[in-house]
């Protein structure tokens, strides 16, 4: 058996090569087609998967659960308040125990070090379902969505506007540059990506032939973009003044004016979700009343426009996560020669 990915963890995108990321995206597309045609793909028959969540989740939790079931595995949800982890037991001890019983572990939480330590001490593949730094299974789904829409990735321009320092900005900037996507970040100076993340992206971009642009000018950021992407203005676990964030990021809101400023009628609009596009949530209603706003990072009009692919992205979390689990744990035939 020669499976190039067997036993690997997905902790962050840069642990993989551009060819490996491309393989995972294309494998996700294949698994999506199998499911659509009701062709069984139970590559993880008899395996047990731990789903460890320090932060809340709808899409990631659902996708890991359904992917595990579709692959013939048994997923077990271990929420923050269900187990000893963090309060009475260290990461290393928890990892050793989980690794002795489960065949793979998903982790969503705060620290990148935690997910790295889980992999180090468990001895089984660990998949990052979001940390403060990276969101690798999200960008696999996003790039699958882009590829389905445009037919290719290399040479596309993706502009991310909003909080340029969060997990989504990091992942899109670095992984996009790895895959030859021109990545533009539009964010105020105080919320631009860390210098080492930009340097990393520039290094990859030089190899893939793409460009990196980081600017505080929203119009310059979105010019000629094939895809406009945004995320919540305050991420999970951040303790910041909402009023200040709103003031900083309002010029970067995706609305009809900013969308028109791409200069392309074919631009698609992306968001990892959940989104504050109206006031129909508890948080949206409270913030809307306090700051006299009816939407935050994206207007409802654009969110629900034909150019928006946000629910395609959400649906693609399933095949993307399934591809990662199957490739790293499925005893498949994926020869090393494909990546030489
Ligand atoms: N996009 C994303 O990760 O969604 P959840 O927080 O619902 O998992
Ligand atoms: N940046 C967001 C992404 C949610 C999927 C957060 O970390 O809350």
CATH of the domain at 69: 3.40.50.1370
70 and 104 co-located in one domain: yes
249 and 188 co-located in one domain: yes
294 and 179 co-located in one domain: yes
Which residue has 């982890």 as its token pair?
A: 85
112 domain-assigned: yes
164 domain-assigned: yes
180 and 287 co-located in one domain: yes
Q: What's the mean pLDDT in 262-283?
A: 98
Containing domain of residue 250, as a range?
A: 157-225+227-266+268-306
For ligand 1, the distance from its centroid to the CA atom of residue 337, given in whole angstroms, is 35
Measured over all CA atoms, what is the biggest interatomic distance in the chain, rounded to whole angstroms? 60
Q: Of all atoms in ligand 1, which is nearest to the CA of residue 137?
A: 3
% of the chain at pLDDT higher than 90: 99
pLDDT interval class at 4 (50, 70, 90): very high
In this prediction, residue 136 carries a pLDDT of 99
In this prediction, residue 113 carries a pLDDT of 98
8 domain-assigned: no
167 and 298 co-located in one domain: yes
120 and 201 co-located in one domain: no
Q: What's the mean pLDDT in 161-183?
A: 99
Which tokens hold the place of 259? 């969308």
Check if the beta carbon of residue 134 is closer than 8 Å to that of residue 13. yes
257 domain-assigned: yes
Q: Does the beta carbon of 166 lie inside 6 Å of ligand 2?
A: yes
33 domain-assigned: yes
165 and 302 co-located in one domain: yes
Helix (H) or strand (E) holding 77: strand 74-79
Average pLDDT, the chain: 98
In this prediction, residue 86 carries a pLDDT of 85
For ligand 2, the distance from its centroid to the CA atom of residue 235, given in whole angstroms, is 5
Number of domains in the chain: 2
In this prediction, residue 219 carries a pLDDT of 98
Is the confidence at residue 191, as pLDDT, over 90?
yes
Is the confidence at residue 79, as pLDDT, over 90?
yes
In this prediction, residue 1 carries a pLDDT of 57
Positions marked active-site? 108, 135, 138, 231, 272, 317
284 domain-assigned: yes
Is the confidence at residue 243, as pLDDT, over 90?
yes
Q: What's the mean pLDDT in 54-73?
A: 98
111 and 174 co-located in one domain: no
Distances (CA, A) of 301 to 145, 278, 307: 21, 9, 10
Residue 300: is the preceding peptide bond cis (ω within 30°)? no
pLDDT of 83-124, one tens digit each?
Answer: 999 889 999 999 999 999 999 999 999 999 999 999 999 999
Helix axes 310-329, 59-70, angle to 10 degrees: 50
pLDDT of 6-48, one tens digit each?
Answer: 999 999 999 999 999 999 999 999 999 999 999 999 999 999 9
89 and 196 co-located in one domain: no
198 and 164 co-located in one domain: yes
With the most atoms of ligand 1 within 8 angstroms of its CB, the residue from 55, 59, 142 to mutate is 59
Give the C-alpha separation, 243 to 159, whole Å. Answer: 24
151 domain-assigned: no
180 and 246 co-located in one domain: yes
Q: Tell me which ligand sits closest to the C-alpha of residue 315.
A: 1
Cβ-based neighbours of 320, under 8 Å, separated by 6 or more: 24, 25, 28, 63, 137, 140, 141, 144
139 domain-assigned: no
pLDDT of 37-52, one tens digit each?
Answer: 999 999 999 999 999 9
41 and 87 co-located in one domain: yes
Q: Does the beta carbon of 315 lie inside 6 Å of ligand 1?
A: no
């Amino acid at each position: 058996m020669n499976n190039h990915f067997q036993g690997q963890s997905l902790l962050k995108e840069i642990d993989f090569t551009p060819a490996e990321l491309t393989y995972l995206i294309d494998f996700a597309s294949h698994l999506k087609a199998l499911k659509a045609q009701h062709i069984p793909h139970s590559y993880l028959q008899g395996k047990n998967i731990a789903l460890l969540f320090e932060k809340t989740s709808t899409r990631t939790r659902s996708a890991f659960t359904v992917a595990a079931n579709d692959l013939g595995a048994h997923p077990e949800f271990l929420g923050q308040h269900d187990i000893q982890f963090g309060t009475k037991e260290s990461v290393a001890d928890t990892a050793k125990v989980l690794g002795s019983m489960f065949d793979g572990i998903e982790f969503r939480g705060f620290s990148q070090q935690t997910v790295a330590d889980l992999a180090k001490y468990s001895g089984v593949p660990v998949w990052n379902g979001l940390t403060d730094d990276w969101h690798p299974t999200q960008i696999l789904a996003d790039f699958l969505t882009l590829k389905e829409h445009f037919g290719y990735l290399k040479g596309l321009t993706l502009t991310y506007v909003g909080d340029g320092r969060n997990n989504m900005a990091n992942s899109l900037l670095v992984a996009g540059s790895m895959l030859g996507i021109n990545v533009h970040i539009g964010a105020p100076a105080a919320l631009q990506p860390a210098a080492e993340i930009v340097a990393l992206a520039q290094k990859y971009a030089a190899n893939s032939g793409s460009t990196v642009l980081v600017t505080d000018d929203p119009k310059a950021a979105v010019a000629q973009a094939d895809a406009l992407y945004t995320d919540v203005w305050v991420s999970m676990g951040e303790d910041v003044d909402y009023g200040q964030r709103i003031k900083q990021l309002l010029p970067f809101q995706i609305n009809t004016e900013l969308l028109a400023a791409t200069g392309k009628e074919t631009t698609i609009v992306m968001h990892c979700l959940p989104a504050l596009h109206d006031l129909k949530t508890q948080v949206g209603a409270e913030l809307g009343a306090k700051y006299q706003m009816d939407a935050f990072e994206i207007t409802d009009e654009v969110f629900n426009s034909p150019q928006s692919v946000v629910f395609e992205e959400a649906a693609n979390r399933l095949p993307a996560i399934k591809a990662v689990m199957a490739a790293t744990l499925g005893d498949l035939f994926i020869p090393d020669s494909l990546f030489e």
